[in-house]
Chains A and B, each alone.
Chain A
Amino acid sequence: DQQVKQNSPSLSVQEGRISILNCDYTNSMFDYFLWYKKYPAEGPTFLISISSIKDKNEDGRFTVFLNKSAKHLSLHIVPSQPGDSAVYFCAASFQGAQKLVFGQGTRLTINP
């Protein structure tokens, strides 16, 4: 049972444009969501997170939007840079449980 889903395995965006990565979840108990960036043969690196009490969180070029009614979150990267090329994972957790549930990941490629 895949509780966190990233339905797009890959995404290609031109440098300077906006990258939008999507994530859906099924468990309404999730109240904390995170995005991680991962390069091959490395551990994930934390990017940005959002609590369920918010619908938007922004950090520099990265913005995460949360739509609780749709059980959907998205990560916006603007402007996209070549160094953003990586696999992006969304993850979710719920209060009292430290463990994370990850989506399948989306491979983002930024084209010059």
Chain B
Amino acid sequence: GAVVSQHPSWVICKSGTSVKIECRSLDFQATTMFWYRQFPKQSLMLMATSNEGSKATYEQGVEKDKFLINHASLTLSTLTVTSAHPEDSSFYICSAHAGTGTGYTFGSGTRLTVV
């Protein structure tokens, strides 16, 4: 089946630094990938839609200059949390749609802790 690999699975960084999270579709091409964020005991909230070769589409309230998304190829999308602050600590998950009838496949998620 379709596999989405997300890396790293967890990361701890200092306030003010930037962190890059990678999301790769391993056995299919994904023109569109999605980035979600989940706070403890809350729903997965869509942050942005990553489009290969074009700018990402951000959901209302998500700062595009803080959460930089790059989708340079059909198998890789990256999310960079810039100038991270403790309130950015969260669980970030990417997903991709492998095609009609196959549904959405999620990465394993990245636990970000900003200290």
Q: Which residues from chain A sit less than 8 Å from chain B, CB to CB? A: 9, 34, 36, 41-46, 49, 89, 98-105
Contact = CB atoms under 8 A, between A and B. Distances in A.
Contacts of B6: 43
Contacts of A101: 46
Contacts of A44: 44, 93, 106
A102 B34 contact: no
B28 interface: no
B95 to A, nearest CB: 8
Contact of B109 (A43, A99, A102, A105): A43
Nearest to B42: A104
A42 B43 contact: no
Nearest to A34: B103
Closest 8 CB pairs of A and B: A43-B106, A104-B43, A102-B44, A102-B43, A43-B109, A43-B108, A44-B106, A46-B103
